[in-house]
A and B are shown apart, each in its own frame.
Chain A
Amino acid sequence: MIDTLPRRGEAGAGARTGIRLAAVLIGGLVVLLVATVLSLGIGSHVVPPRTVIDALTHFDPAQDDHLIVVRSRIPRALLCLVVGVGLAVAGAVMQALTRNPLAEPGLLGLNAGASLAVVVAISFFGVSELAGYLWFAFVGAAVAAVAVYALGTAHRSAATPARMALAGSAIAMAVGAVTTSILLSRESAYDQFRFWAVGSLQGRPLEVTGAVLPCVALGVAGALALIRPLNALALGDDAARALGASAPAIRLGGGLVVVLLAGAATAAAGPIGFVGLVAPHLVRLLVGSDHRALLPGTIVLGPAILMVADVLGRIVIAPAELPTAVAAALIGGPVFVALIRTNRRIAG
């Protein structure tokens, strides 16, 4: 499923990967930059690019356009960056830990856990502030992650992709049923919940980004520190042991990283699927599965994909706005299918 490192004997393999990685990083950054500029200009009220630049360089609070850009669209773009990085790197680490090409926060039940926690916060604890749900969502995602992992690896058997995915979908569906039935019984809770649950980046105050930023930063640092162990794990548990790495220890560290990243991203933006799945696959397709190249590429392409989705979501049914999660699935789905069709490493 995830193939091994380039062998030492393969002359030039490392150099080729380096060049490809540079291309991915530069290309990704260009896309990210363009999408960010568009994201600052496009919306229910279109601000021309010149005014966007003006607002950034010579901010004038008296001008409405400047206010829109600085007070509403910049926070949204920042959140998009943080969430995109969190989801994508979480997906890459999950795929490595579980050796499961389908691993991503949504499919392994983290979104479902976060959703249930938010609904419980609204219905039973009377929490009404976005900043208040944040920690509930975080805990919910973390509990779901631990539960799926524990189930997937119960009885000392290796965490096979099928077991892990089965555990994820079992927990997601059971937890989702409880969530929906609470919502069906309490209409006022549904009204609040749907603003969080549409997986939107709209109307999130800057404090939300501030609250999750340290978690995402810590998670990314942890993921980068795990590059060598993750590469060792890709060779199999036995091979990892032979290389002096303890598979359970790597899984524990990686699990913490995933919980930090995916928990923070989901808490801030609601359940957004596909970014965590598509970004690592796309990077793997372009640079191979050595985590030294994979993780940096993912860090750039993740937010680029989410930013493009966010911008398209505002264009497609303008003047109405498509929830970012829906836009992400509409873009991510076809990319994902195309990947499966073209990449022999994923599905033979």
Chain B
Amino acid sequence: MTGRRRTPVARSGVLRIASFSLRLDLGGMRLAAILLVLVLVALAVSLMLGAVPLAPVEVLRALAGDGEERILRTVVGRRLPRAVCALLVGVCLGVAGCVFQSLSRNALGSPDIIGFTTGAATGAVAQITLLGGGVLATAAAAVAGGLLTALLVYLLSRKHGVTGGIRLVLVGIGIGAIMAAVTDLLLVRAGIAEAASAQVWQSGSLTGRGWPHAWSLVAAAVVLLPLIGIAGRALRMIEMGDDVAHGLGIRVERVRFAVLVLGVLLTGVATAVAGPIAFVALAAPQIAARLARGSGLHLALSGLIGAVLLACADLLSQHLELGLRLPIGLVTALLGGVYLIWLLARRA
């Protein structure tokens, strides 16, 4: 699925700090820098646009804690946390997608396809319809639902002590469909008010997300991303084959389980904040692989692309006037779908 591959060796350098060494792909670094600039641009635009359009100077002054009370409230109180949420949800989903596609060695192995996002949604909908809402409780239920689903998929796709490959994707699709049916069952049984509020949550939205949401994402990212970064090395070796990784002294199944849990936590936190967001986890790693043209794992690039995708999607969902209501989850589905269609049509 990755098309022609160029060996990255010619363009790489090695960073050594004492005994710790890291091979850097210079092409990848340049790409990452470009993506970071895009992230900052998206952030700036989302702080400027809105019911009250602001000039860059006013935004900068507000960020420095200076200026009119009203503008301060708009920028720091509302637009900044929402933008931070969009970026971090994008990072979480992009990285999680990369992890799962690597684990399953399949372009379809993203959390939205293999049922984890659906499971998180089931958890949240169960909380809303059976126990009656509450933002924190819903978020916790989403994370729990995602984890339980993942555990189920992991256990059921295990055979002779081995998990990976197409079996993980297939089992995930099956479990995902069951979870979706359970969600529907809950919605059918629920009262109309609970069903309506669960429906809104289910289409995925960043409306009204504030600092508590943003901080919980920051906390999750600070804890989880470095851990995944560490595991990424082992994961890259597992991509060369279980036997090779074994030969290099890696405990394959243990790494897989650990990475699975970390990826599910990322997905769960993102889903808890924004609702089920389609396609970022599916598309970001694919885009990363095509832009970088190198083989191997692109954790950081996938995260950055996820951030750019979701930030742009949030801008569109806030400011695009089509006479249709487009929550961010639908915008990402539309963008990602169109992108993949274009990709499939263009390249063999």
Give me the interface of A with B, judged by CB distance under 8 Å: 101-102, 107, 151-152, 154-157, 162-163, 165-167, 169-178, 180-182, 184-185, 198, 273-274, 317, 320, 322-323, 325-327, 329-330, 332-334, 336-337, 340-341, 346-348
Contact = CB atoms under 8 A, between A and B. Distances in A.
B171 interface: yes
Given A102-B173, A173-B279, A166 B178 contact: no
B333 A177 contact: yes
Main secondary structure of the interface of A (DSSP, over half): helix
Contacts of A151: 341, 344-345
Interface stretch (B210-218, B236-244, B288-296, B322-330): B322-330
B171 A340 contact: yes
Interface string B247-266: 00000000000000000000
A330 B178 contact: yes
Contacts, number: 138
5 contacts: A184-B203, A320-B188, A322-B188, A323-B184, A340-B170
B86 to A, nearest CB: 17
A274 B334 contact: no
Nearest to B106: A162
Contact of A333 (B181, B185, B189): B181
Given A162-B107, A323-B188, A157 B348 contact: yes
Main secondary structure of the interface of B (DSSP, over half): helix
Nearest to B334: A177
B170 A102 contact: yes
A329 B177 contact: yes
Given A151-B345, A329-B180, A337 B175 contact: yes
Given A154-B345, A166-B340, A317-B189, A184 B327 contact: yes
B344 A317 contact: no
Nearest to B279: A173
> How big is the B interface, by class?
35 or more
B27 interface: no
B156 interface: yes
B344 A173 contact: no
Nearest to A164: B344
A119 to B, nearest CB: 12
Nearest to A199: B184
Closest 5 CB pairs of A and B: A174-B337, A333-B178, A170-B340, A329-B181, A155-B348
A155 B345 CA distance: 8
Given A165-B108, A177-B331, 12 more contacts: A151-B345, A167-B340, A167-B341, A173-B336, A174-B333, A175-B337, A180-B203, A184-B203, A329-B180, A341-B156, A341-B171, A347-B170
A276 to B, nearest CB: 12
B165 interface: yes
Given A178-B334, A332-B177, A336-B174, A320 B345 contact: no
B52 interface: no
Nearest to A170: B340
B185 A347 contact: no
Given A162-B107, A184-B327, A185-B325, A333 B175 contact: yes
Contact of B174 (A172, A198, A327, A340): A340
Given A151-B341, A157-B348, A320-B189, A184 B324 contact: yes
Contacts of B233: none
B125 to A, nearest CB: 13
A171 B341 CA distance: 7
